[in-house]
Amino acid sequence: MEGRTTERSIGFGWVLPSFALVFLGFALVTLATNILPARKSTHAMDAEKRRIEAEIERLSATDRELELRERALAGDPMTQEAEFRRTFRTGRPGETIYQFEEDDPEGR
Protein backbone atom coordinates (compact mmCIF):
# COMPACT_ATOMS: atom_id res chain seq x y z
CA MET A 1 0.00 0.00 0.00
CA GLU A 2 2.93 2.18 -0.12
CA GLY A 3 2.49 3.22 -3.71
CA ARG A 4 -1.12 4.19 -3.41
CA THR A 5 -2.14 7.66 -2.56
CA THR A 6 -5.64 8.35 -1.56
CA GLU A 7 -7.08 11.72 -2.14
CA ARG A 8 -9.60 13.01 0.24
CA SER A 9 -11.91 15.60 -1.08
CA ILE A 10 -12.91 18.36 1.25
CA GLY A 11 -16.41 19.41 0.34
CA PHE A 12 -16.71 23.12 -0.34
CA GLY A 13 -20.13 22.76 -1.88
CA TRP A 14 -21.70 24.40 1.15
CA VAL A 15 -19.65 27.61 0.87
CA LEU A 16 -21.50 29.21 -2.04
CA PRO A 17 -25.02 28.61 -0.67
CA SER A 18 -23.92 29.83 2.77
CA PHE A 19 -22.37 32.95 1.28
CA ALA A 20 -25.56 33.58 -0.69
CA LEU A 21 -27.70 33.24 2.46
CA VAL A 22 -25.47 35.62 4.43
CA PHE A 23 -25.56 38.16 1.58
CA LEU A 24 -29.34 37.84 1.29
CA GLY A 25 -29.72 38.34 5.05
CA PHE A 26 -27.51 41.41 4.95
CA ALA A 27 -29.50 42.81 2.04
CA LEU A 28 -32.80 42.28 3.85
CA VAL A 29 -31.52 43.94 7.03
CA THR A 30 -30.26 46.90 5.00
CA LEU A 31 -33.59 47.18 3.23
CA ALA A 32 -35.56 46.99 6.46
CA THR A 33 -33.44 49.54 8.32
CA ASN A 34 -32.78 52.09 5.59
CA ILE A 35 -35.23 52.02 2.72
CA LEU A 36 -38.56 51.17 4.36
CA PRO A 37 -38.44 53.92 7.03
CA ALA A 38 -37.44 56.40 4.33
CA ARG A 39 -40.49 55.39 2.33
CA LYS A 40 -42.74 55.95 5.34
CA SER A 41 -41.21 59.36 5.91
CA THR A 42 -41.78 60.15 2.23
CA HIS A 43 -45.51 59.49 2.73
CA ALA A 44 -45.50 61.74 5.79
CA MET A 45 -43.71 64.44 3.82
CA ASP A 46 -46.24 64.14 0.99
CA ALA A 47 -49.10 64.58 3.46
CA GLU A 48 -47.36 67.60 4.98
CA LYS A 49 -46.80 69.04 1.49
CA ARG A 50 -50.50 68.67 0.65
CA ARG A 51 -51.45 70.35 3.95
CA ILE A 52 -49.07 73.25 3.30
CA GLU A 53 -50.31 73.65 -0.29
CA ALA A 54 -53.91 73.83 0.98
CA GLU A 55 -52.86 76.44 3.54
CA ILE A 56 -51.11 78.46 0.82
CA GLU A 57 -54.25 78.34 -1.34
CA ARG A 58 -56.42 79.48 1.59
CA LEU A 59 -54.04 82.33 2.40
CA SER A 60 -53.85 83.34 -1.26
CA ALA A 61 -57.64 83.60 -1.40
CA THR A 62 -57.64 85.71 1.77
CA ASP A 63 -54.92 87.90 0.26
CA ARG A 64 -56.97 88.44 -2.90
CA GLU A 65 -60.03 89.42 -0.84
CA LEU A 66 -58.00 91.89 1.22
CA GLU A 67 -56.47 93.43 -1.90
CA LEU A 68 -59.96 93.98 -3.36
CA ARG A 69 -61.12 95.53 -0.10
CA GLU A 70 -58.03 97.77 0.00
CA ARG A 71 -58.72 99.01 -3.54
CA ALA A 72 -62.35 99.71 -2.66
CA LEU A 73 -61.36 101.64 0.45
CA ALA A 74 -58.62 103.58 -1.32
CA GLY A 75 -60.75 104.71 -4.23
CA ASP A 76 -64.29 105.16 -2.91
CA PRO A 77 -65.13 107.76 -0.24
CA MET A 78 -68.54 106.17 0.45
CA THR A 79 -66.89 102.83 1.15
CA GLN A 80 -64.42 104.58 3.44
CA GLU A 81 -67.26 106.24 5.34
CA ALA A 82 -69.21 102.99 5.63
CA GLU A 83 -66.12 101.16 6.91
CA PHE A 84 -65.42 103.93 9.41
CA ARG A 85 -68.99 103.92 10.72
CA ARG A 86 -69.02 100.11 10.96
CA THR A 87 -65.66 99.96 12.73
CA PHE A 88 -66.27 102.76 15.21
CA ARG A 89 -70.05 102.23 15.51
CA THR A 90 -70.89 105.80 14.70
CA GLY A 91 -73.67 107.26 12.65
CA ARG A 92 -74.44 110.30 10.64
CA PRO A 93 -75.98 113.28 12.40
CA GLY A 94 -79.57 112.49 13.24
CA GLU A 95 -79.19 108.69 12.84
CA THR A 96 -80.04 106.31 15.63
CA ILE A 97 -77.67 103.38 15.99
CA TYR A 98 -79.10 100.05 17.07
CA GLN A 99 -76.73 97.34 18.23
CA PHE A 100 -77.69 93.70 18.26
CA GLU A 101 -75.75 90.93 19.89
CA GLU A 102 -74.73 88.26 17.45
CA ASP A 103 -76.12 84.79 18.05
CA ASP A 104 -73.53 82.33 19.29
CA PRO A 105 -73.69 79.29 17.01
CA GLU A 106 -72.53 77.06 19.86
CA GLY A 107 -75.29 78.33 22.15
CA ARG A 108 -73.09 79.81 24.90
Which carries the bigger pLDDT value, residue 44 or residue 2?
44
Separation CA 106–CA 47 (nearest Å): 31
Task: With both helix axes pointing from N to C terminus, report the angle between 36-75 and 77-88 in degrees, rounded to the nearest 10.
Answer: 110
Structure confidence at residue 94 (pLDDT): 87
User: What is the pTM (predicted TM-score) of this model?
Assistant: 0.44
pLDDT tens column, 44-69:
888 999 999 999 999 999 999 999 98
Q: Mind listing the pLDDT tens digit for each residue in 63-94?
A: 999 999 898 888 888 888 888 888 888 888 88
